[in-house]
């Protein structure tokens, strides 16, 4: 499928997979190198993300790491205003996603700073939960990332089917699906979902994969998040081969290279298949 996202009236093509670079305006996100708590640090991190080839900057201001105490809404908004202001001053044309689970934060980010995408990291167990966030985003007319925390492929498909229909009924156009690796799943469930992830393509919507340096890697390998880049690249390769359109990452350069290598391989595979069918 050749997907596109409407970004301020311009189409962002997902014909080839793209990279979303993580910028955390937090003091407590699990991977320290992604944190930026001053305008100077935000600008430096944003510059690195852009220079290394990411198509999207994903800014978060409330950590979702397991066991963390979430920032208050006021704290999240203050951090986001600082980070979004710094990015918009330096790179007004950058495609910016905001990582949040609060409808009022999403509204502020879009209306005050022109955030282009809302990355909803809320974990909702019923169709009614999260309705306000989906309603707000559909009114804002920006692309929406819908994340699932369900443990199995079947439950993930059911979750997506119900919420996508709700979003369509609200008039939402651009929807991206995130299987939610690391959210509400055991180590084994994460790998089982990754192994069958291509079945999510039945939804005919782009898939975002966020596995970068997560516990499903470092716990299996017996290392620390700091040492999990090689494992991250291995899982990125698998995710791309199974149809991922967006990789949400800490290490942009390595992920961009991974996308290029997999794209070259898949292109040759398609050409070989076409020749064999002649």
Active site residues: 214, 248
Sign of CA dihedral 148, 153, 155, 159: positive
Give dist(CA 71, CA 133) in Å, integer. Answer: 18
For the chain, the farthest-separated pair of C-alpha atoms sits apart, in whole angstroms, at: 62
In Å, what is the CA distance from 184 to each residue of 152, 162, 275?
10, 19, 44
User: Bridge partners of 207?
Assistant: 177
What angle (nearest 5°) sits at the alpha carbon of residue 35, between those of residues 57 and 111?
45
In Å, what is the CA distance from 140 to each residue of 101, 136, 208?
15, 6, 21
Q: How many residues does the chain have?
A: 278
User: Which stretch of DSSP H or E encloses residue 20?
Assistant: strand 18-24
Q: Which DSSP string do the residues of 39-95 spell out, in sequence order?
A: HHHHHHHHHHHHHTT-SEEEEESS--STTPPPPPHHHHHHHHHHHHHHHHHH-TTS-
DSSP state of 21: E
Q: Which residue, chain included where needed, has tokens 């939960």?
A: 129
User: Which stretch of DSSP H or E encloses residue 133?
Assistant: helix 131-140
């Amino acid at each position: 499928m050749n997907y596109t996202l409407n970004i301020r009236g311009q189409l962002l093509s997902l014909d080839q997979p793209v990279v979303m670079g993580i910028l955390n305006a937090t003091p407590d996100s699990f991977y320290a190198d992604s944190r930026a708590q001053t305008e100077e640090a935000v600008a430096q991190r944003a510059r690195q993300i852009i220079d290394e080839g990411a198509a999207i900057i994903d800014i978060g201001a409330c950590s979702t790491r397991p066991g963390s105490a979430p920032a208050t809404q006021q704290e999240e908004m203050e951090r986001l205003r600082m980070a979004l202001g710094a990015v918009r001053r330096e790179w007004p044309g950058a495609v910016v996603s905001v990582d949040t689970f609060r409808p009022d934060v999403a509204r502020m980010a879009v209306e005050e700073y022109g955030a282009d995408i809302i990355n909803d990291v809320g974990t909702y167990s019923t169709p009614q939960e999260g309705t306000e966030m989906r309603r707000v985003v559909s009114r804002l007319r920006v692309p929406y990332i819908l994340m699932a925390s369900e443990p199995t492929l079947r439950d993930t498909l059911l979750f997506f089917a119900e919420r996508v229909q709700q979003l369509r009924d609200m008039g939402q156009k651009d929807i991206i699906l995130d299987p939610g690796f690391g959210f509400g799943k055991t180590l084994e469930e994460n790998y089982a979902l990754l192994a069958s992830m291509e079945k999510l393509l039945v939804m005919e919507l782009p898939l975002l994969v966020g596995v970068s340096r997560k516990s499903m890697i470092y716990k299996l390998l017996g290392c620390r998040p700091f040492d999990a880049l090689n494992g991250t690249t291995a899982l990125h390769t698998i995710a791309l081969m199974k149809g991922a359109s967006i990789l949400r990452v800490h290490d942009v350069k390595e992920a961009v290279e991974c996308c290029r290598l997999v794209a070259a391989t898949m292109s040759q595979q398609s050409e070989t298949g076409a020749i064999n069918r002649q």
